[in-house]
A and B are shown apart, each in its own frame.
Chain A
Amino acid sequence: DGGITQSPKYLFRKEGQNVTLSCEQNLNHDAMYWYRQDPGQGLRLIYYSQIVNDFQKGDIAEGYSVSREKKESFPLTVTSAQKNPTAFYLCASRVTGTNEKLFFGSGTQLSVL
């Protein structure tokens, strides 16, 4: 089945720890996105990438880092500099183009211990 796989589904972070959220897609999509969702809120863009080895900051990139070494993979690292990391993290992808639908993974819930 084609789709976007996010792992783990639940993740716990200790103070001062970096954690990495995985996002893998087998849809052959060029563009990939990371969003953060807080309770009762919409989605806020963290980082996005339109081609391999290139990515751009979204609206709330501070405290996060990404890499795009392979077309299929776009991991997100939540660093210790992110002081309020508890949120639902969503990865998305789409074909590059002006009118292509966005597809989402099932999300990772990150909580602080």
Chain B
Amino acid sequence: KQEVTQIPAALSVPEGENLVLNCSFTDSAIYNLQWFRQDPGKGLTSLLLIQSSQREQTSGRLNASLDKSSGRSTLYIAASQPGDSATYLCAVNQYRDDKIIFGKGTRLHILP
């Protein structure tokens, strides 16, 4: 059974720092991996989608990498801002049944 793990569960950093969020998955038979942002009491917003054949994707200050063979992905946030404070979740779309499985998320707090 696919398991998606996100470390750390929570993170507080001063404004302006670069930071890395981690995501690991146990079954590498995936179509893609997505990173999402969730604000309290709200739905999720897709940030980046990396196809299984890709190594990384970039959008503005965000860069996501994927190492499918080792079952790992990272989300790099450059020059963090207070507005980046939110919960970040990763999800994998697995081959065998097309399910999309989520990790529990990393709760990020950027200190002004």
Distance A100 CA – B55 CA, assembled complex (angstroms): 17
> B31: which A residues are within 8 A, CB to CB?
98-99
Within 8 A of A (CB), among B36-73: 36, 41-46, 49, 51
Interface of B is mostly: strand
Cβ of A103: which chain B residues have Cβ within 8 Å of it?
46
Chain A interfacial residues counted at CB < 8 A: 28
Q: Does any Cβ of B come within 8 Å of A81's Cβ? A: no
A104 touches B43 (CB 8 A): yes
Q: Taking CB as reference atom, which chain B residue is nearest A31?
A: B98
Q: Are B49 and A98 in contact (CB-based, < 8 A)?
A: no
B45 touches A98 (CB 8 A): no
Q: Decide if B44 touches A45 in the complex (CB within 8 Å).
A: no
* Complex Cα spacing A88 to B44, Å: 12
